Amino acid sequence: MAGGILVIAEHLDGKVAPSTLELIAAATSLRVERHGVRLVVFGHGVKELADHLAGYTVDVLVAEHPLLAEYTGDAYVQAVRGIVESTNPRLVLIAHTAQGYDLAPALAGAMDLPVLTNCLAIDLQEGRLVAARRILNEKVHVEVEVRSDRPIVVTMRPGATPPQGTGRGTMSVTEVPVSIDPAAVRVKFVRMERPEVADIDLSSADVIVSAGRGIQKKENLRLVEEFAKAIGGVVGASRPLTDLEWLPKTRQVGQSGKTVRPKLYVACGISGAMQHIAGMKDAGLILAINTDPTAPIFEVAHVGFVANVLELLPAVLKELKAG
C-alpha cells in the first residue's frame, strides 16, 4: 500500500475542521497514481467521525489510541510516522493551523523529510511538486519546486482552496494499528480553555463588512454594524482596529488574523496593506470604499468607491430603508 497522497484530518469536539475539507479538495484535484488520496483520522473514539468523512470521496484510515484523544505533538508525530512509513505517500498534506505548523516540522525533522509550509496551491508535474507561496510579508508570489524520492510534508493555508463537497456513496474506512511510547510524550494535555464569550466565526460568513482606520473613531463602528446587519453580514476589521481593541482579535482579517472567502467583502476605510489583502483577496466580490484613489485596496477590489465611508454608508442605509 504505497504512493498517493496522505491527508491529515483535524477535528475538535467531534467536528471536522473546515481546513480538512480544503485539503481534501486540493488533494483530489491532483493526478496521482496507485492509491490516490487517503485521509487519516487520529484520536480516541473517532470511528463515527471517520465514517462521516468517508462521504467526501476519499478512503479513510482510522488511527485510535488513548494518547491521541487530544492533540500533543509527541504523540501525533509517533502515530503519523508509523502510517507514513507503512504507506510511503508522495505527499503528506497538513493544514497550516496552530496544530499543523506544530506537527509538520516535527514530523519532517523526525523522519528527515522535505517540508514546505503555508502553501496557497500545489501541483504535481512529472514527478516534481510545484507549490505556490507568498514571501516577504506577502509582497512576492513565488513557485517552489521540490524533487524527492521520499514523502514531502506540505502545509496549506486555510482559506486558500474551496472546500470539498460531499460525494455520492461511501468510500472505505480502515482501522490501522498505532504504536506510541508514553515515555516519549513529553507534553500532557490538561484542559481546553475557551473565550468566555463566543464570537462570530468570520471564516464561515457569506458577507463581511470590515472597518479600517477610515472610520476615524470607535463610536463610528455602530454605523458599520448597522450597514452589515442591513445586508445580512457580519463585521470584521483590519489590524489597527483590533490593536486598538475596538474589536476583538477574532474579527481581524489578514495574514495575522483570519483568511476569509465570503461571497461579498466590503472594505470600509481600509487602505489595503498586503497583510490585510492576503486574508480577503479570494472573496467572490470585493467592494472598497476609501477617500484615497491610490489606496492599494482598489487594486484587488471588483468595485471601488472613492468616497468618505462616514458619508456614503448613511446614504446607502437611507436608500435601503426607503426601498
- Tell me the whole-structure pTM to 2 decimals: 0.73
The residues, ordered by sequence, that sit 6+ positions from 244 with a Cβ below 8 Å of its Cβ are 218
Look at residue 145 in the predicted model and tell me its pLDDT. Answer: 93
Look at residue 137 in the predicted model and tell me its pLDDT. Answer: 64
Annotated domain spans of the chain: 5-184, 202-322
Look at residue 1 in the predicted model and tell me its pLDDT. Answer: 43
pLDDT in tens, the chain (323 residues): 457 899 999 998 888 998 999 999 999 888 665 458 899 999 999 999 998 888 887 889 999 999 999 999 999 999 999 999 999 999 999 999 889 999 999 999 999 999 999 998 999 887 789 999 988 766 678 999 999 999 999 999 887 788 877 665 567 899 999 999 999 999 888 888 765 555 678 888 999 999 999 999 999 999 999 999 999 999 999 999 999 999 998 899 987 788 898 999 999 999 998 889 988 988 999 999 999 999 999 999 999 999 999 999 999 999 998 86
Region of residue 213 (left: phi > 0; alpha: psi -120 to 50; beta: else): alpha
Calpha distance 74→92 (Å, rounded): 17
Q: What angle do CA 164, 120, 114 make, to 5 degrees?
A: 105
Contact 267, 304 (CB under 8 A): no
The dotted CATH code for 202-322 is 3.40.50.1220
Contact 129, 113 (CB under 8 A): no
Q: Tell me whether domains 5-184 and 202-322 share a fold.
A: yes
Contact 265, 210 (CB under 8 A): yes
Q: Give, rounded to a whole angstrom, the gap between the first and last alpha carbons of the chain.
A: 63
The dotted CATH code for 5-184 is 3.40.50.620
Strand (E) or helix (H) holding 265: strand 264-268
Look at residue 262 in the predicted model and tell me its pLDDT. Answer: 93
Closest C-alpha among 229, 236, 233, 232 to residue 211: 236
Q: Which long-range contacts (CB under 8 A, 24 or more apart) does 129-136 make?
A: 129/90, 129/91, 129/154, 134/278
